[in-house]
Structure 1
Amino acid sequence: MPVLTPLAAAVLLLAALPAHADWRVTPTLKVAETWTDNVNLTEDELAYSDLITQISPGFKLSNQTRRLTVNASAQLHTFAYLHDSDKRNRDGSFGDGENDSVSSVRRSYRANLRGELAQDLLYVDATASRGQQNISAFGPRITNDQYSNANRTDIDTWSISPYLLKNFGSTAAGQLRFTRDSVGGGDNIGFRRTGGNTLLASLVNGPAFRTVGWGVTYTKQDLNGGRYGDSSSEMLATNLRYMVNGRFSLLANAGYDRYEFEGLGGGEQGANWSLGFAWTPSSRTSLQATAGRHFYGNTGNLMALHRSRHTSWNVSYNDVITTSRQQFTLPSTIDTAGLLDRMFSTAYPDPVVRAQVVQAYIDQTGLPPSLSDSINYLSNRFMRQKRLQASMVYRKGRSSAVLSAHASDRSAISDQQSDSPLLGSQQGRYSDNVRQRGFEANYTYRLNSRSNLTARYDIDESESRDRGYKSTQRVFQLGVSRRFGETIGSVDLRRRSGDRFNAGTYTENAISASLFKTF
């Protein structure tokens, strides 16, 4: 019943809007055959080969009008296997089935809605998603093998967020937002389903303040965690900005945070402050940096953007208190479309036209829509996360490339007890202090107007700093694709290797041929 909440809100929204909304429904179908020599991603001596047939019908739904924007897609993935289940299900890794290392049916969907209920006053955002997520930081990573359950489960999320926007002349602008959301899907493995209520109120300066800018934001969130306990957070943030000249500004921030959760300690709270600057030497380059102190120690933030004729760069660093749940509701990914958007901004100044050009370019070249900056494993705990990430997109002639590197440290600040049902007491202690490093490279060479050659390399390392344990995962993929009207055919080779938590190493070689058609 709760999952219907955002859908019901969407229906009410549609009823309030004009009937000439421009809806577009596009049916899709994917058919694939995959042969792998290690279907259950287990130790080499226990590996079994298999031939997997995949049939995935789906659809895309979109609407773009002044008062309503909707983008949604959904797929039903069905899998058939050549060999008996007793061979492919010999797997001791974490998974969402009852000792099943593969699935027969899987659903995935993603939807975003933004609407204007009352002109220039009342708005609503709604989202829903379902997809695979890694369970542990130490184990096989998710790739395009949607049939596998190795170290993964399906997580579903939804949110509905009505909000008011109000301008007070040229003096200030205010926002009052309420968000109701839910994250779950891993109850059978101990990842609690939580419902959240978040209130946000903010007031920022208007155009009357040209030299000095200011802002105040208050946020309160309550989470209902069922048998794992409730938690809450409350934050007050203020900021000042002094413009020295048109390109350089000084920044000051101050606030107070409070976190309450079940377990030993019961919570954390304290004041924070930071000082910094914002520098925009040209329309192609910007840099913003702050440094200060939080109740958990010294902290800082960095955001640097740069674009040239053939490249677009993004470097960022942040230090925050977060949860796995928050990472799912606000996905931490590097957006390829965003990088390309900045690159095309000079040639296509109109943002609507530019978005269409960017999407067409991604479809044509086969570049991934996003790159993960770190592996978001499941945890019921609050953690401090320090994350550095850098990405670059390159486009020249027939070549396109997206490069991404990330480094993160996650230190748990709430009690390990809430993770015992999820990982067990032993592995729960391995997740107390996790360091992750990774690099991903995607390259596309356009053979002609219809065909592309693609290559991908991905390496990720997770280390338990308290236990001295490391897990390394590598994936190399080479493929060729060709467009036949509304159909895209592709053939891909994949080699993967890595460690399994306290269970040796594994390798996999696979070949896949697929057809994807839009109707």
Structure 2
Amino acid sequence: MDMATATGPMAAERALVGPGTAAVAAALLASPAHALDWSFTPTLSDSLTFTDNVELAPPGEEDWELINVISPGFNVTGDSARTTVNASYRLRALTHLRESDRDRLNHVFSGSLNSELIGENLFIDASARYSQEVLSLFGPIGLDDTSDTGNVEDVGTVSVSPYLVNRFGSFAESTLRYRHSRVYRDFSEDNYSNSASWNLDSGSRFGRLSWGLDAQAQRVTGVDRDPATFRSASASVGYELTRKLRVTASGGYEDNDYESDRADLSGEFWTVGATYAPNRRTSVSATYGERYISETKSFSITHRRRSAQLSASYSESISSSELSVFEGFEEGDGFVICLPDDPFCAPGQIIRRTIIPVFEPVNEFSYTRRGTGTLTIFGTRNTLTFNAFQVRRDFEVSEEETTQTGGSVSWTWKLGPVTSFNSTASYSRNESELSEREDDLYSFTAGFNRSIGQDINASLRYRHVRRDSNEPAGEYRENAITLTVSASF
């Protein structure tokens, strides 16, 4: 049987660190000072999914399918006094009963390395990620990779970042960092970023007063456009008015160059802010300022109790699909590998989290405003999580505006020592100003997980997906049921 690979024109090895970097890493890990205590756990899962609309086609064009997914993989960790390594990988071989042309291989990988190279001065961080991500908010969007939508592409990222730390007693501490990042994609050219930053932060000598100096430069090469550059220098000061309240202020100058219809991309900026922490469990921060783009605001709150945890945030930035990858996914974005301690999915399963990152190859930057909120309530046998979000992108050249608004409710119920029930209901409204497109995406999943012995798990899950749209061709419905058995060795 021929099986297409999801890597397409992008060879899998392109998403790995180059031979020179790999040789350095191998020498580093082999040295006595970095001898690691390794833990290697092979995994294997097999799932069978029946769906009544495998391509998420419009009403009247549905096609049912029976899909078997065999997924070998591994989890590996390595720890020493100076180095930490973490990696997870899953190969997912999808075979289809009715149409073998749909058969494919998907690779999902995430890994990181953090190491102290010389004394307490020279360090290195490295990370890599490989997964299948959504191309367009307005194409069909599946809850996992069993949906054959044609609206995904392989996205691989690699980042290597050495940095030098110097401590000047109790006076100050400086950090000089370089970062090289690359993004590999199926349907467009590779993108890369080189950035350097330096900061000097005050030490304990200054007591309640804090100060800092910061300089940054970044060059981003994107698809079919001139490189974009971002440079800035700033100074900041803070003062602890009380043990619970700290105020801050910063100011500086930024010099940017990227494709935009704005008359001015550079200029002075300033921010003022405050952080209030009435106790160890609660923290509230807010800032207000001005940049060349407009007034800028940010906000965050965290509150933790034994029975509940609350977090919320709001931020504004200039971004693009490439910058989003370089800066790292926000927690909750994209496809993820379910781990054994995740109460909302079966170990080894690949699922989509709440917010959908967009990798549509739009060759421009956007002014992005993002707000998220999460409330988790813990009971003796129940866990309930509420999520809400809004992401608005105003593109700099095309004058396109897209808005993604929604939320979800997840519930897990521990029925016994080895059995649990979990369900998630989610809603997302996706809007495009330029095309006047409006989509409402609903999903519901429910299922049982059961441990069979110490290292074997079984799950049975049902899902329903529905999208309503003012564009009839964009509507679809799907019902699917999945039986999964997974094991670790």
TM-score clears 0.5: yes
Distance 1:143 1:177, change over 3 A: same
**Higher deviation after alignment, 390-399 or 369-378:** 369-378
CA offsets 1:49-102 (integer angstroms, 9 cap, x no match): 01001111111110122211111011111111111357xxxxxxxxxxxxxxx5
Alignment of 1:405-444 (within 5 A): 405-413=388-396, 415-416=397-398, 432-444=400-412
Matched, 1:152 2:134: no
The AA in structure 2 aligned to 1:141 is I
- Residue 425 of structure 2 corresponds to 457
Structure 2: state its 5+ residue gaps: 1-12, 334-338
Give CA-to-partner distance per residue, 1:128-167, whole Å, 9 cap, x none. Answer: 1111111112233342234534421110000111111111
In the other structure, the counterpart of 1:163 is 163
Instruction: Find out whether 1:318 has 2:331 as its counterpart.
Output: no
1:509 is aligned, of 465, 469, 479, to 479
Matched, 1:386 2:369: yes
Q: CA deviation at 1:32?
A: 0.5
What is the match of residue 334 of structure 1?
A: 331
The answer to whether the Cα contact below 8 Å between 1:182 and 1:193 also exists between their aligned partners in 2 is yes
1:335·1:369 contact (CA, 8 Å) conserved in 2? no
User: Alignment partner for residue 225 of structure 1, among 222, 226, 238?
Assistant: 222
Bigger Cα displacement from structure 2, 380-389 vs 507-516: 380-389
- Corresponding residue for residue 130 of structure 1: 130
* Cα separation, 2, equivalents of 1:372 and 1:272: 33
Provide the C-alpha distance between the structure 2 equivalents of 1:103 and 1:380, rounded to a whole number of angstroms: 32
- State yes or no: 1:488 paired with 2:457: yes
Shift of 1:401: 2.1
Q: Which residue does the alignment assign to 1:470?
A: 438
Of residues 70, 73, 80 in structure 1, which corresponds to 2:88? Answer: 73
Q: Does 1:52 align with 2:22?
A: no
Q: CA deviation at 1:116?
A: 0.8
What is the DSSP-based 3-state SS (H/G/I as helix, E as strand, rest coil) of the residue aligned with 2:306?
Answer: coil
- CA spacing shift, 1:371–1:313, aligned 2, 3 Å: farther
Matched, 1:238 2:235: yes
CA contact (8 A) 1:77 1:105 kept: yes
Residue of structure 2 equivalent to 1:4? 17
The one-letter code matched in structure 1 to 2:134 is N
Please give the per-residue CA displacement for 1:304-346, whole angstroms capped at 9, x wherever unaligned. 111122001101111111121122233343369xxxxxxxxxx
Amino acid paired to 2:369: K
For residues 340 and 52 of structure 2, the distance between their equivalents in structure 1, rounded to whole angstroms, comes to: 36
**Count of residue pairs the alignment pairs up:** 464
Q: 2:289 aligns with which of 258, 277, 292?
A: 292
Residue 182 of structure 1 pairs with residue 190 of structure 2:
no
Residue pairs, 1:12-161, within 5 angstroms? 12-18=27-33, 20-84=35-99, 102-146=102-146, 148-161=148-161
Measure, in 1, the Cα distance between the counterparts of 2:344 and 2:60.
41
CA deviations on 1:387-444 (whole Å, 9 max, x unpaired) are 111011221111012221101211112x34xxxxxxxxxxxx7xx2111101022110
Q: Is the 8 A contact 1:134 1:375 kept in 2?
A: yes
1:111–1:277: structure 2 CA closer, same or farther, 3 Å change rule?
Answer: same
The more displaced of 449-458 and 321-330 is 321-330
8 Å CA contact retained: 1:492, 1:512: yes
1:211 to 2:194 alignment: no
Give the gaps of 5 or more residues in structure 1.
Answer: 87-101, 337-358, 417-428
Distance of aligned partners of 1:283 and 1:335 in 2 relative to their CA distance in 1, 3 Å threshold: farther
CA distance in 1, matches of 2:49, 2:381: 29
Aligned CA RMSD, in angstroms, stands at 2.5
